[in-house]
Amino acid sequence: MSAVPSPSRNSRITGVVDPVRYTDGYSYRGSRLYCEGVAMEEIAERVGTPAYVYSRASIEQAYRQLDTAFGKLPHTICYAMKANSNLGILRIFAALGSGFDIVSGGELYRLRRIGVPGNRIVFSGVGKSREEIREALRARILLFNVESAAELDLLAAEASRLRVRAAASIRVNPDVAAGGHPHISTGHHRHKFGIDWDMARKLYLAHRDSRWIGWQGISAHIGSQILTLAPYRQAVSRLAGFFRDLGRAGIALKYLDCGGGLGIRYTAEQPLDKAAYAAELARIVRPLGCHLLIEPGRSLVGPAGVILMRVLYTKENRGKDFVIVDAAMNDFMRPALYGATHPVTHVRRASGRLTRADVVGPVCESGDCFLQDWPLGKTSAGDLLVLWGTGAYGFAQASNYNSRTRPEEVLVSGRRMQSIRRRESRADLVRGE
Ligand code: LLP
């Protein structure tokens, strides 16, 4: 049996971990935690707990910092909406002029619902169905990132049926090692993603004069939660070489899509400086005279979101303290799924000695544990706590396990809070059964 990733032990964390210091959009006023201009206590009072809370300013700032970092280089940020696909969040990106990276017909549907035009959308994913391909062709999307020879055949067939030319790119598998946890690294040849260089070249040439496939670009995505420049440098340099090679073979491309993957700080990570990342990509890409696409997800929304939750009980088992909260692994999977460490702090700033406890949810699994031996300090039933860095791959990966209704989602903009998804009801729970 393979080892089950368990939430990491945190006994090595000694001092105070205070994400408020490195998270835009959140601050203390006196001893009370605020998201922008709204007290977390007020949010709990108005919508209950657990609740996802997002800071609009944090998202806007992350987007603008990245956008500005590329300066005059022709580029489009295509937000990888799998990270957080709430319509309220998507509207923020649409208003900023962002593009979008989608991986399903469902994601396309969400974008159509808020009026995003097709030419702002790129479509990635190893298993696009015929129906999804058709929908995206009808929407006249900017780019299909094709991931297999068979998919390319299907794309050509569907394009010919609809009498439209598909704007396409091949997602190559650049064969570099990158990314944090093994479940989220994608750019190595043993992963299911992309097409190897030789096969990619054959396919570009085979469809060079095709009526239904219009080669527009080349793309790669090497992994997620990447904290160093080296894998980007390696992958993008290879892409650039390939881009030139294709040019010599008579295939002039317009787009070079470098995927997403920028890591963020959860506890002690040192994220890449956005300016350094942009400068490095620009240095390699500028001489090609092409248009750069990037597909960041986590780095744009991750830090903006938290889960606001309440302590149900505390208990001690043979000298070990447990804090049982009303959020659980179904609401937020990352600790159970990847052994990820997301800090928890009090909404009322704690004082006194930081006693340790395991922070666990009510679901009937030992894996339903957000943190072990976490220096949380004195905690009582009824206290409000915050689980940090949950804006990306948070609600998007939530489930109804244990027949728990999924949380409310709240967007804070300055002094205004707005529900962008109401808490699920019991009726929602059994809809369709
Ligand atoms: N583009 C493609 C083709 C992708 O597959 C992904 C993420 C992205 C862009 C965005 O990557 P980001 O900038 O967010 O790192 N659930 C995992 C992460 C899975 C990432 C999957 N692909 C987690 O919670 O860590």
Is residue 364 part of the annotated active site? The answer reads yes
Q: Is 124 in the pocket of ligand 1 (CB under 6 A)?
A: yes
Q: Could you tell me the distance, in angstroms and rounded to a whole number, from the CA of residue 138 to the centre of ligand 1?
A: 26
Q: Which of 35, 78, 364, 369 is catalytic?
A: 364
Q: Which residues in 111-122 are b (16+ Cβ under 10 Å) and which e?
A: beeeebebebbb
- Region of 155 on the Ramachandran plot (φ > 0 left; ψ -120 to 50 alpha; else beta): alpha
Crossing angle of the two packed helices 274-285 and 230-248, in degrees rounded to 10:
20
CATH architecture of 70-300: Alpha-Beta Barrel (3.20)
- Is the four-CA dihedral 371, 376, 381, 386 of positive or negative sign? negative
Angle ∠(390,394,398) on CA atoms, nearest 5:
145
Residue closest to 369 by CA, chosen among 379, 377, 359: 359
Q: Is 259 in the pocket of ligand 1 (CB under 6 A)?
A: yes
In sequence order, what DSSP letters do the residues of 188-208 get, joined into one string? STTSSSSB-HHHHHHHHHHTT
Give me the pLDDT at residue 192, please: 75
Ligand 1: which atom is nearest the Cα of residue 296? 13
SS3 state at 294 = strand
Q: Is 298 in the pocket of ligand 1 (CB under 6 A)?
A: yes
Ligand 1: which atom is nearest the Cα of residue 333? 24
Task: Assign domain 19-55+303-430 to a CATH class.
Answer: mainly beta
Mean per-residue pLDDT over the chain, rounded: 94
Q: Could you tell me the distance, in angstroms and rounded to a whole number, from the CA of residue 37 to the centre of ligand 1?
A: 31
Per-residue tens of pLDDT for the chain, all 433 residues: 334 445 556 766 666 688 999 999 999 999 999 999 999 999 999 999 999 999 999 999 999 999 999 999 999 999 999 999 999 999 999 999 999 999 999 999 999 999 999 999 999 999 999 999 999 999 999 999 999 999 999 999 999 999 999 999 999 998 887 655 555 556 566 677 789 999 999 999 999 999 999 999 999 999 999 999 999 999 999 999 999 999 999 999 999 999 999 999 999 999 999 999 999 999 999 999 999 999 999 999 999 999 999 999 999 999 999 999 999 999 999 999 999 999 999 999 977 888 999 999 999 999 999 999 999 999 999 999 999 999 999 999 999 999 999 999 999 999 999 999 999 999 999 999 9
> Which residue ranges does the chain devote to CATH 3.20.20.10?
70-300
Q: Could you tell me the distance, in angstroms and rounded to a whole number, from the CA of residue 203 to the centre of ligand 1?
A: 26
Question: What DSSP element (H or E) covers 149?
Answer: helix 149-162
SS3 state at 270 = coil
Q: Could you tell me the distance, in angstroms and rounded to a whole number, from the CA of residue 259 to the centre of ligand 1?
A: 9
Long-range contacts of the stretch 280-287 (C-beta < 8 A, 24+)? 280/229, 280/232, 280/233, 280/236, 281/70, 281/232, 281/236, 282/70, 282/71, 282/73, 284/233, 284/236, 284/237, 284/240, 285/73, 285/236, 285/240, 285/256, 285/258, 286/73, 287/240
In whole angstroms, give the CA distance from residue 58 to residue 62: 6
Question: How far is it between the farthest Cα atoms of the chain?
Answer: 73
Residue found under tokens 């019991």: 426
Residue found under tokens 């160093």: 228
> Which residue ranges does the chain devote to CATH 2.40.37.10?
19-55+303-430
Token duo for residue 229: 């420049």
Ligand 1: which atom is nearest the Cα of residue 180? 25
- Predicted TM-score of the model (pTM): 0.95
